[in-house]
């Protein structure tokens, strides 16, 4: 069966450039700066306009510019160099997995997730969960894991965000043209689209399969927007995290049950199944149904499934876990109890929670041998939160561990810093990201050289902020003077604080505004000015989250705060990259202990940006007293107001007494040497420990390979 069918509307390229098509359809380019530069060089203005999408670029670029590149010997030499690196990467036989687990190279790992944040040109992600899934896939490719990912393809993605003149978030949904995205339809040997079907109550819903190439691995996405389905069913994959409970259960049935059927259709039979969050848990029921249909008892089937299943949970809040009523489950799973050989009551008990609901996290935990939270603290919270599943065990013995999240370093590290690291680190540093001893060589970088690269990145970020703010003010119909003020927004010499994430209320985006007079004095010190940039989306149904955005926007227009506080709209991967690479401080103020991990701070730290964060999520582990600052303490407050007050005082005290003075303590060449020492400490302590390269090695060593070996010891069945 062929997995490759390029059916997009790309124009025919001149023969010397023909390899660009192959490159454009593999997201390897998204974490390779030389490949990105190839596309940018064709038409820099259009490259910006198409939001860094090679497919859209090649579809829209003028022929004369292609001909010009085809006759440019320098460009063609760069193209050949990139393609050589690309093909060597794809064919490499000395990957980490093959070197460490040569006997397991034939086994297969399947990874299910509701969203994947791979690049802004493939907008099928909403936030941190999707970014993690995308980074997980990239590192699985880098390490050479025998890995396949499965998800849903959303016609409208999440939503684009605009901020109204009054400061309200406006959610804009625009159907995507899949033909202009880096993916291909999967077709069979006869050239027909590959279609699977999934039962939903009394009907069959069909889904078309698309393939995304992510380096050495494949991601398969299910799409119901096809003529075989009714208008209602075509909309099942229209949006991410939208609709009511019925839409949600339909999407999760499609992801879990449909995802299993996709792999079977592709003749992929995983030895390990990794469920990323509870959205994917219905895959367990389909796998059990298959085995029972082959003659196994339900107990035998469930044991086989458990030994080969990994489950990762991210959400430390009970309300964040999907749960459905008995009526809804009976409606959509009417035949399943009898197909599994269970009574209806026994079937419901597979996912029954303390609220008498069918909870997908409960189902996932009962069906997985290998369960983890995504930071050490998150693991502790998860063991306490789900005590009801193991009521007779003390917390430390409940079978939930942790593997702390990381980031795909090459995706988030500024190319300018990557080039600098290459000057002072060993030649193969990008293959040894987890090597802590190697990162000690960061100390060899002259402080003034590291500071100059950071300063240039900051200037680049400010240019992008000014451009986006000008577009926003023009759209709002502001007066010409106010529009022209953007040319002076933000001073590259001023201490710049960044805050960017999902605007959920527990993340307390407005905590720093609790004492406006004190903040005013911090921002407006003529000798030591401070400025702040905010970005983030609130869920369209989250009115309190939207009110936080409105409040920050209103403050940004007040005298004393105008042009010193910015609320950027439409936060996405592109905006995230230039913020984590360009600010001086990364502020994170969740209400402890509700931050599962919080990987944006890891992205910042790898770029030498100093974290200023609540001791929650990964920062509770990562903070060592010298690589940034802690907000607040580890005290557990019973009163949220008391906690907010204490954390607010910690923010102001740190800024006034430590952060701001240190930033402005300069040498005769205007370099903040002591500050840069902290930047180096952040880089060398955060980068190796909080990369997905380390994270995937942990998953492989602790979960994937043990699950493979344990699965072999269960009575065998082709499965």
Q: How confident is the model at residue 188 (pLDDT cuts 50, 70, 90)?
A: confident
CA distance 516 to 649: 12
Q: Which two tokens stand for residue 616?
A: 């929650």
Positions of CATH 3.40.50.2000 in the chain:
96-161+182-405+698-713, 413-423+432-689
Q: Which two tokens stand for residue 642?
A: 């008391």
Q: Is residue 158 a contact partner of residue 600, using CB atoms and an 8 Å limit? A: no
Q: Which two tokens stand for residue 81?
A: 């160099």
CA distance 515 to 627: 27
Calculate the CA dihedral of residues 223, 228, 232, 237 and round it to 10 degrees. Answer: 0
For the four alpha carbons of 268, 271, 277 and 281, in that order, the dihedral sign comes to positive
For tokens 């370093």, what's the residue?
A: 409
**Count helices and strands in the chain by DSSP H and E runs:** 32, 20
Encode pLDDT of 132-178 as tens digits: 999 999 999 999 999 999 999 999 988 899 999 999 999 998 899 99
Nearest to 356 by CA among 328, 383, 394: 328
Q: Which two tokens stand for residue 45?
A: 């203005």
Encode pLDDT of 411-466 as tens digits: 999 999 999 999 999 999 999 999 999 999 999 999 999 999 999 999 999 999 99
Nearest to 602 by CA among 373, 404, 403, 406: 406
Q: Which two tokens stand for residue 301?
A: 């089937």
Q: Which two tokens stand for residue 702?
A: 């602790």
3-state secondary structure of 178: helix
pTM: 0.96
Burial label for 601, CB within 10 Å (0-12, 13-18, 19+), is: buried
CB 670: neighbour CB atoms within 10 A? 10
CA distance 47 to 467: 16
Task: Give percent above pLDDT 70 in the chain.
Answer: 98
Rg (CA), the chain: 26
Cis omega before residue 419 (within 30°)? no
For residue 657, what is the DSSP state?
A: I
Q: Is residue 212 a contact partner of residue 118, using CB atoms and an 8 Å limit? A: yes
CATH class of the 96-161+182-405+698-713 domain in this structure: alpha beta
**pLDDT of the residue at 719:** 41
Encode pLDDT of 335-388 as tens digits: 999 999 999 999 999 999 989 999 999 999 999 999 999 999 999 999 999 998
- Strand ranges for 182-230 from DSSP E: 184-185, 195-200, 203-214, 217-223
CA distance 719 to 717: 6
For tokens 């009976």, what's the residue?
A: 330
Q: Which two tokens stand for residue 459?
A: 């200037």
Longest CA–CA span in the chain (Å) reads 80
Which CATH number is associated with domain 413-423+432-689?
Answer: 3.40.50.2000
Mean pLDDT of the chain: 94
Encode pLDDT of 61-103 as tens digits: 999 999 999 999 999 999 999 999 999 999 999 999 999 999 9
Q: Which two tokens stand for residue 580?
A: 């984590």
**pLDDT of the residue at 716:** 53
- One DSSP character per residue, 493-531 reads TSEEEEEES---GGG-TTGGGSSHHHHHHHHT-SSS-EE
């Amino acid at each position: 069966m062929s997995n490759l069918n390029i059916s997009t509307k790309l124009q025919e390229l001149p023969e010397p450039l023909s390899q660009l098509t192959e490159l454009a359809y593999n997201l390897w380019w998204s974490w390779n700066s030389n490949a990105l530069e190839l596309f940018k060089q064709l038409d820099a203005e259009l490259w910006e306009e198409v939001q860094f999408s090679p497919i859209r670029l090649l579809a829209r670029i003028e022929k004369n510019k292609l001909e010009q590149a085809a006759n440019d010997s320098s460009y063609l030499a760069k193209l050949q160099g990139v393609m050589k690196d690309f093909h060597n990467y794809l064919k490499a036989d000395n990957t980490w997995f093959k070197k460490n687990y040569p006997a397991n190279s034939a086994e297969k790992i399947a990874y299910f997730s509701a969203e994947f944040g791979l690049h802004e040109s493939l907008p099928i992600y909403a936030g941190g969960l999707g970014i993690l899934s995308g980074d997980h896939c990239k590192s699985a490719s880098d390490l050479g894991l025998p890995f396949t990912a499965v998800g849903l393809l959303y016609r409208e993605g999440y939503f684009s965000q605009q901020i109204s003149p009054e400061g309200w978030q406006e959610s804009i949904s625009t159907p995507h043209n899949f033909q202009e995205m880096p993916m291909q339809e999967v077709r069979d040997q006869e050239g027909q689209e590959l279609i699977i079907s999934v039962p939903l109550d009394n009907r069959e819903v069909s889904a078309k399969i698309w393939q995304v190439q992510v380096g050495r691995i494949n991601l398969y996405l299910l799409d119901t927007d096809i003529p075989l389905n009714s208008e209602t069913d075509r909309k099942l994959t229209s949006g991410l995290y939208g609709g009511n409970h019925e839409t949600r259960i339909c999407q999760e049935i499609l992801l879990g049950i449909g995802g299993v059927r996709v792999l079977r259709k592709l003749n992929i039979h995983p030895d390990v199944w990794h469920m990323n969050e509870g959205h994917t848990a219905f895959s367990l029921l389909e796998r059990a149904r298959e085995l029972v249909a082959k003659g196994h008892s339900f107990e035998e089937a469930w044991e086989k499934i458990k030994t080969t299943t990994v489950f990762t949970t991210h959400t430390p809040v009970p309300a964040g876990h999907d749960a459905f009523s008995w009526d809804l489950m009976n409606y959509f799973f009417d035949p399943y109890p009898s197909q599994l050989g269970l009574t209806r009551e026994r079937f419901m008990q597979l996912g029954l929670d303390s609220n008498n609901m069918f909870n997908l996290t409960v189902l996932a935990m009962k069906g997985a041998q290998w369960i983890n939270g995504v930071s050490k603290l998150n693991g502790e919270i998860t063991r306490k939160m789900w005590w009801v599943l193991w009521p007779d065990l003390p917390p430390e013995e409940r079978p939930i561990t942790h593997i702390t999240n990381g980031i795909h370093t090459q995706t988030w590290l500024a190319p300018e810093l990557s080039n600098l690291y290459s000057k002072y680190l060993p030649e193969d540093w990008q293959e040894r990201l987890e090597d802590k001893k190697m990162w000690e060589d960061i100390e060899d970088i002259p402080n003034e050289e590291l500071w100059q690269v950071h300063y240039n990145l900051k200037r680049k970020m400010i240019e992008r902020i000014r451009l986006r703010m000008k577009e926003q003010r023009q759209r709002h119909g502001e007066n010409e003077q106010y529009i022209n003020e953007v040319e002076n927004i933000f001073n590259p010499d001023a201490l710049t604080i960044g805050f960017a994430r999902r605007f959920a209320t527990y993340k307390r985006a407005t905590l720093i505004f609790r004492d406006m007079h004190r903040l005013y004095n911090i921002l407006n010190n003529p000798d030591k000015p401070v400025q702040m940039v905010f970005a983030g989306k609130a869920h369209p149904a989250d009115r309190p989250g939207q009110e936080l955005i409105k409040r920050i926007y209103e403050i940004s227009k007040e005298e004393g705060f105008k042009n010193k506080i910015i609320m950027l709209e439409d936060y996405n991967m592109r905006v995230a990259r230039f913020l984590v690479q360009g600010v001086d401080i990364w502020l994170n103020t969740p209400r402890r202990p509700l931050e599962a991990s919080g990987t944006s701070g890891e992205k910042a730290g790898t770029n030498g940006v100093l974290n200023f964060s609540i001791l929650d999520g990964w920062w509770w582990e990562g903070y060592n007293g010298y690589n940034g600052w802690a907000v607040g303490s580890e005290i557990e407050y019973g009163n949220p107001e008391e906690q907010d007050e204490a954390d607010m005082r910690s923010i102001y005290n740190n800024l006034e007494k430590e952060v701001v003075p240190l930033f402005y303590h300069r040498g005769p060449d205007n370099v903040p040497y002591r500050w840069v020492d902290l930047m180096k400490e952040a880089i060398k302590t955060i980068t190796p420990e909080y990369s997905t390269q380390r994270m995937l090695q942990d998953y492989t060593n602790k979960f994937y390979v043990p699950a493979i070996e344990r699965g072999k010891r269960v009575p065998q069945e082709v499965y």
